[in-house]
Structure 1
Amino acid sequence: MNYFLTYTVYVLILSVLMGISTWKLFKKMGYSPLLAFVPFYNYFIVLKETNHPKWWAILSYLPIVGPIMMSVFHLYLMKKFGKTLFKDQLLTVILPFIYMATVNYSKDVELEDENDLYLTEEEKNSKKKDTFIGSITFAVVFATIIHVFFTQPFGIPTGSMERTLLVGDFLFVNKWSYGYRLPMRPLAIPFLQGTILDTGEKGNPKDDPKSYVEGVKLPYERIFQFNKPQRNDVVVFNYPRDSVHTSIDRKDPYVKRLVAVAGDTFEMRNGRLFVNGKPETVLGDQEVQHSFTVNTGTQLDIPALYNTYGFLPVREAQTNTGFEYTFQGLTDKTAKDIKSLPNVVDMRENIFPKDSGTVSHKLNAEKNAYTKSIDTTQSIFPINKPWNQDFYGPLKIPKKGDVVAINQETLPEYQWIISQYEHNKLENKNGKIFINGKETSQYTIQQDYYMMVGDNRDASLDARFFGFVPEENIVGKPMFTWMSVQGAFKDSSSSYQAPLKVRWERMFKATNTGDANKTSYWWIAVMILVLFFGWEYFVKLFRKKKTEEDL
């Protein structure tokens, strides 16, 4: 409800600005000046008077799409009053309400005669150019609507979900899988997630230019949530510990498998995953992998192994007796095959000892447990436990309505939930805990949380490190792979770079069915292309016929 109230306020503010800067222009067009203040209808009139499709008016106040369409409509209006020079168009786009107000209150502004019979050849060419630019603009707007409100493309740059999702897979994500999460930064550059460009390792990521206006924001709201995330779903979500972007929907997108839902108990025993005390259910399209160290007498033919088994991130080192290889991502079958190679001396699975913690756990344990400066790529969650990625838990996943005990022992587990995800003021002073200024020993969870873990268990930055994923961070489910390119992303975890090639067999196949043999959607892709180009052909044919009849 807060979302729609805030959104209404934004719409009213923009409508008032539109009215103040254009009411005289509406009067000159023969309309009541008050109509310039009416949301949507003011742009309906502009489109009607400039001979453009009137239904475009419904796009005028939509998040992200609206600012683009408003700029287009403002240009149409200014052109109707003779403001066609480049400087006029530039000022209309960058200072819309200010420039339109100067035109509005000008004494000599008059309507332009748009009758084609009186246009010069140069003016006719200019009109054709405007029509072409308008077509390109609307194509961009249409793509933006699809991107913002329906489905979003997503690439797989790392091997954390091998071999279910491969490095170089490009997916379409269904934003309606678990209800549609409304945009929280309505003023943004289309198609860009967080930043416009990366300034590099030397710069501070927080200083990178953002692709959205941080000051114009809307609260979290999800509509039409008919389904909740289910155990074993492959899910795209915004990385909860992203410190660069404060807006939830602008944080970096991650893809993992949802292994434990709200209310479940998650545990890792000797590198194997357990939920509610039972071994995980492995689906048909899921291949769980682990890390192995292999010692050989002579070098392995890594390119040949890659061609046979696919993804094989590997580190190679020469030893006194031969060579040592560390593989991150071997299935049980692949490990068995490699072990049987004649030049393999021995092979062992890499398992952290129980209660050994992580590299940074011992350092963090010496500090105050309540801290926000945790490197989640090195620290296990929560930081006061001697767990590691192979021996982890048991950990109960918080559920909406749960009343949890808050003390010095449990605070590292719940501090991000209380302070960051549910936006309370949390203080830990003199051994006492305060929430919103009141000393407390318990807290009621306000939303569901989830445990997201990669199928490639030993090469995955997942919930074992960054903790619970709030429901508000969930984007949706991948639908299908529309493109797959081996070697598209450089693998920093491997000393071997795979050759570049297109994986045709993976294209337009479903990604989230749980079945080993996935359905191909080539026929849908072809149908969409036929409909798109066929529609465009018939529209041009209709317009040509109508023009001939008018003559």
Structure 2
Amino acid sequence: MSASIVTLFLLRFFFIDVYRIPSESMMNKLMTDDYILINKTAYSGYFSRFITASPQQGDIFVFTINKDIPGFFVKRCIGLPGAVVAVKNGEVSVNGKLMSEPRSVRHYYKIWFNDYQQVKTAIEEMRIDRFKNGFRHFPHYIVLALDNFQKNKMNHGVDSIRIWNRKNDPDSAKINLPELSENILDMSSLKIPFKGMTIYFSQPQDTVYSNAIRMYEDSSFRLGSKAAFIAGKQVVAYTFKKDYFFMMGDNRDIAIDSRHYGFIPGDHLIGKFIQQF
């Protein structure tokens, strides 16, 4: 085996790797079937002896969830261990401050217009595929998926624009976007567990904590209304053994992410996104 092949093999095994984007959850940053290069050393729990940096808010990672949800996932890190994350009408806040989102973050918007022709021209100039972006046209407004860059370009002929929330819009039935049937645009404040964080069971806990404990730390853990049990023995508190992260897709209204399957432990991070090709 030549030295160059050995070098390539070692690079692939220890330092970098290539992954294919499996879904639309990272549109418009990464598209389905795009190939991306990841760094497996600086951040990966799989290669802890090589770790040279800590994950940062905004980093994009490849990670695994658990054996019941097989495969690899690609999402953006929204919350670090110990941070408090909340979502209100699609807008994310971290530690009480509205998060500054990348321009690739995408939402479905309800756009009221005073001049439809100007709006139509903007859509055409940005080469937005109306079919792929859920376009709906009504007498006084349209519904359309836009990323932040596109939204900021939609500034002519528009009266107002806001994220479309099917749960509180009386027009939801006629707008009818079935791809958003499981979207979560509102989530109460949630503190992300960190190694050494203790929770108490004097009151019912959000199931997201119990799921993380049972899934990643102790499979014997069970949670009752005011008590918890490990290996059948009652405990009044639990101290987390790992750091966790909150992951979200840039295609916010469609992505299945930590809002659905919960926190991701650091040792399930495989690598950080470097570039697409």
- Fold match (TM-score > 0.5): yes
* Residue in structure 2 matching 1:395, options 190, 195, 213: 190
Alignment CA distance shift 1:439-1:257 (3 Å): same
In structure 1, what is the Cα distance between the partners aligned to 2:39 and 2:238? 34
What's the offset of the Cα at 1:269? 3.0
Question: Which residue in 1 is equivalent to 2:26?
Answer: 161
Matches within 5 A, 1:525-544: none
- Higher Cα Rg, which structure: 1
1:422 partnered with 2:217: yes
Question: Which residue in 2 is equivalent to 1:308?
Answer: 126
- Contact 2:89/2:163, CA 8 A, preserved across alignment: no
- Contact 2:200/2:236, CA 8 A, preserved across alignment: yes
Question: Which residue in 1 is equivalent to 2:54?
Answer: 228
In structure 1, what is the Cα distance between the partners aligned to 2:161 and 2:181? 26
TM-score (norm 2): 0.76
What's the offset of the Cα at 1:282? 4.3
In structure 2, what is the Cα distance between the partners aligned to 1:155 and 1:307? 30
* Residue in structure 1 matching 2:14, options 122, 125, 149: 149
Question: Which residue in 2 is equivalent to 1:329?
Answer: 146
1:272 partnered with 2:84: no
**CA deviation string 1:109-159 (max 9, x = no partner):** xxxxxxxxxxxxxxxxxxxxxxxxxx8xx96x8765443322111223444
TM-score (norm 1): 0.41
Alignment CA distance shift 1:311-1:288 (3 Å): farther
In structure 2, what is the Cα distance between the partners aligned to 1:236 and 1:402? 25
What's the offset of the Cα at 1:414? 1.4
Paired AA for residue 238 in structure 2: Y
Paired AA for residue 276 in structure 1: N
What's the offset of the Cα at 1:264? 0.8
Alignment CA distance shift 1:272-1:236 (3 Å): same
Matches within 5 A, 1:405-420: 405-406=200-201, 409-410=204-205, 412-420=207-215
**CA deviation string 1:377-419 (max 9, x = no partner):** 977xxxxxxxx83332211110101111135621512122221
* Residue in structure 1 matching 2:263, options 468, 474, 477: 468
1:288 partnered with 2:105: yes
Question: Which residue in 1 is equivalent to 2:273?
Answer: 478
- Tell me the percent identity: 26
Question: Which residue in 1 is equivalent to 2:171?
Answer: none
Question: Which residue in 2 is equivalent to 1:351?
Answer: 165
* Residue in structure 1 matching 2:68, options 235, 243, 264: 243
In structure 2, what is the Cα distance between the partners aligned to 1:302 and 1:167? 27
What's the offset of the Cα at 1:470? 0.8
In structure 2, what is the Cα distance between the partners aligned to 1:336 and 1:180? 38
Q: Equivalent residue of 2:253, what SS?
A: helix
* Residue in structure 2 matching 1:435, options 209, 225, 230: 230
In structure 1, what is the Cα distance between the partners aligned to 2:186 and 2:135? 27
Alignment CA distance shift 1:407-1:243 (3 Å): farther
Alignment CA distance shift 1:472-1:180 (3 Å): closer
Q: Aligned residues, how many?
A: 263
- Contact 1:172/1:480, CA 8 A, preserved across alignment: yes
Which has a greater percent of helix? 1
Alignment CA distance shift 1:179-1:252 (3 Å): closer
In structure 2, what is the Cα distance between the partners aligned to 1:442 and 1:334? 48
Paired AA for residue 86 in structure 2: E
What's the offset of the Cα at 1:426? 2.0
In structure 2, what is the Cα distance between the partners aligned to 1:277 and 1:327? 29
- Contact 1:256/1:452, CA 8 A, preserved across alignment: yes
- Contact 1:270/1:391, CA 8 A, preserved across alignment: yes
Question: Which residue in 2 is equivalent to 1:177?
Answer: 42
Question: Which residue in 2 is equivalent to 1:340?
Answer: 156
What's the offset of the Cα at 1:428? 4.5
Question: Which residue in 1 is equivalent to 2:177?
Answer: none
- Contact 1:151/1:172, CA 8 A, preserved across alignment: yes
In structure 2, what is the Cα distance between the partners aligned to 1:280 and 1:346? 22
- Contact 1:433/1:441, CA 8 A, preserved across alignment: yes
In structure 1, what is the Cα distance between the partners aligned to 2:204 and 2:239? 17
Higher relative contact order (CA 8 A, sep 6+): 2
In structure 2, what is the Cα distance between the partners aligned to 1:347 and 1:463? 27
**CA deviation string 1:263-304 (max 9, x = no partner):** 111122333221111222446xx4433211357898999899
Provide structure 2 residue ranges, at least 5 long, that are not aligned to the other structure: 169-179
Paired AA for residue 275 in structure 2: F
Alignment CA distance shift 1:229-1:436 (3 Å): same
Paired AA for residue 273 in structure 1: V
Alignment CA distance shift 1:437-1:180 (3 Å): closer
- Contact 1:162/1:311, CA 8 A, preserved across alignment: no
In structure 1, what is the Cα distance between the partners aligned to 2:75 and 2:35? 15
Question: Which residue in 2 is equivalent to 1:40?
Answer: none
Q: Equivalent residue of 1:459, what SS?
A: coil
Paired AA for residue 334 in structure 1: Q
Matches within 5 A, 1:179-198: 179=44, 181-182=46-47
- Contact 2:45/2:269, CA 8 A, preserved across alignment: no
**CA deviation string 1:148-196 (max 9, x = no partner):** 32211122344433343344532111100215615xxxxxxxxxxxxxx
Question: Which residue in 2 is equivalent to 1:258?
Answer: 77
Paired AA for residue 150 in structure 2: T
Paired AA for residue 164 in structure 2: N
**CA deviation string 1:240-264 (max 9, x = no partner):** 25515xxxxxx42222221210011
In structure 2, what is the Cα distance between the partners aligned to 1:432 and 1:452? 29
Q: Equivalent residue of 1:315, what SS?
A: coil
Q: Equivalent residue of 1:223, what SS?
A: helix
